[in-house]
Amino acid sequence: MGPKKNPQMDNMEEDVEDIKTSLNFLKGELAAVRLQQSSILALVNEVKTLRIQNDEKDTKIADLENKVDELEQYTRINNVIITGLKIKPRSYARAVTADSEGGPGELDAGSTEQQVAAFLQSKGIHLNCNNIEACHPLPRKNNSEKPAIIIRFVNRKNKIALLREGRRLKGSDVYLNEHLTKRNAGIAKHARYLRKQKKIQNTWTTNCKVFIKLNGPPEEAKVLVIRDVAELDKYQ
């Protein structure tokens, strides 16, 4: 007669087999998780690399935009913008006559120069038209607006001399300003807002660069050149 079987031993053997099966299954699952984890880490590293590359591209683009803006501003370095001055066009008959005779048409540069020079002369400002390379109104959004007028001088000294006389126009609603790029004009506008809010003492432009003077005693207040509007955020 053979040995008597122990049911408890049989159950234990079955449990051991089940545990081995479960462990093998878990090993397989763990291997799959590790494989997925490796794939995820690879993707994370790839994303980091792409972000670094994008940041480098953004930096290069920003540098190129800065250089383009600097070049554009340099081409305007000899210009003055007059705002608030109403320019009268020549009569249609005179314009037609001039055109038929081979002369310049309506609102030609000479006519604009003469009217600008006459107005400035009435305010005690002498404008030598021989120093002007070009003078004409800029396009406007609608006919009800007074067009801004651009004067391009043959050299920077003439421009600076005219801007210094701008104080004589106080109370006339006519203003003389440097011809800033859209970017620098935005910086200057924001700086004027800070001055109005008394967050800074003063702001002005020189050679198409925007300067601000910080609050503080005159002998201690710093003067800074602002090249990006974000630099003004700290003075809000």
| Domain interval for residue 156 | 74-179
- Choice between 36 and 92, residue whose per-residue pLDDT is larger: 36
189 shares a domain with 168: no
194 shares a domain with 120: no
In DSSP terms, 132 is beta-bridged to: 153
- CB-CB contact of 92 with 106 (8 Å): yes
Strand order in the sheet with 175-178: 132-137, 149-153, 79-83, 175-178
- CB-CB contact of 154 with 131 (8 Å): yes
The tokens describing 70, both together, are 């600097």
The tokens describing 46, both together, are 């790839």
Q: Is residue 42 part of a domain?
A: no
pLDDT at position 146 is: 86
β-pairing verdict for 202-206 and 209-213: antiparallel
- Going by the DSSP 8-state scheme, the letter that residue 218 receives in this structure is T
215 shares a domain with 142: no
134 shares a domain with 202: no
Backbone torsion region of residue 196, taken as left when φ is above 0, otherwise alpha when ψ lies between -120 and 50, otherwise beta: alpha
pTM, whole model, 2 decimals?
0.69
Q: Last residue of some domain: 156, 179, 202?
A: 179
The tokens describing 44, both together, are 């994370």
Q: Is residue 21 part of a domain?
A: no
Q: CATH number, domain at 105?
A: 3.30.70.330
188 shares a domain with 103: no
Q: Last residue of some domain: 147, 179, 211?
A: 179
Query: Which parts of 26-141 are beta strand (E)?
Result: 79-83, 132-137
Q: Is residue 60 part of a domain?
A: no
Share of the chain above pLDDT 90, in %: 56
78 shares a domain with 154: yes
pLDDT at position 2 is: 52
Q: Is residue 3 part of a domain?
A: no
Q: Last residue of some domain: 163, 179, 195?
A: 179
198 shares a domain with 131: no
171 shares a domain with 97: yes
Q: Is residue 13 part of a domain?
A: no
In the chain, the number of structural domains is 2
**Could you give the 3-state DSSP secondary structure of residue 213?**
strand
* Closest of 186, 211, 229, 179 to residue 78, by C-alpha: 179
- Going by the DSSP 8-state scheme, the letter that residue 231 receives in this structure is G
Tell me what the pLDDT averaged over the chain comes to. 85
The tokens describing 218, both together, are 């005159």
CA distances from 24 to 13, 19, 20 (A): 16, 8, 6
203 shares a domain with 106: no
199 shares a domain with 118: no
Q: Is residue 127 part of a domain?
A: yes
pLDDT at position 19 is: 78
156 shares a domain with 107: yes
Q: Is residue 9 part of a domain?
A: no
157 shares a domain with 213: no
pLDDT at position 110 is: 56
Question: pLDDT tens, 1-52?
Answer: 555 555 666 667 776 777 777 777 788 788 888 888 888 888 888 888 889 8
d(CA 153, CA 77): 9
pLDDT at position 96 is: 44
